[in-house]
Amino acid sequence: MAEDSPKRRKANFNEAETEVLIEQVLKHEQLLFAAGPGRASAGQKRKVWELIRHKVNPVAACPRDVEDLKKRWRDLKRRDR
């Protein structure tokens, strides 16, 4: 019967998660978002996002995956404008 239950959404990001995410993304900003000939490969970026995930999850209300973190980062950037 559990298969028929609607999918529940994850908990909102708490303040500690958001702080760690911002700190780690800014620390690796050049590698993640650089343009031009010196930019990182997709594999390198994936490894950095995994590293960030491993830093965020110990303070997370629920386990976060890389896509959750990327979406949260995009939302924070959009809100900051």
pLDDT at res. 36: 86
As a whole number, the mean pLDDT across the chain is 92
In sequence order, the 6+-apart residues with CB closer than 8 A to the CB of 69 are 21, 49, 52, 53, 56
Nearest by Cα to 48 from 30, 62, 64: 30
- The residue written with tokens 């980062």 in the block is 73
What pLDDT is attached to residue 7? 81
pTM: predicted TM-score of the whole model, two decimal places: 0.86
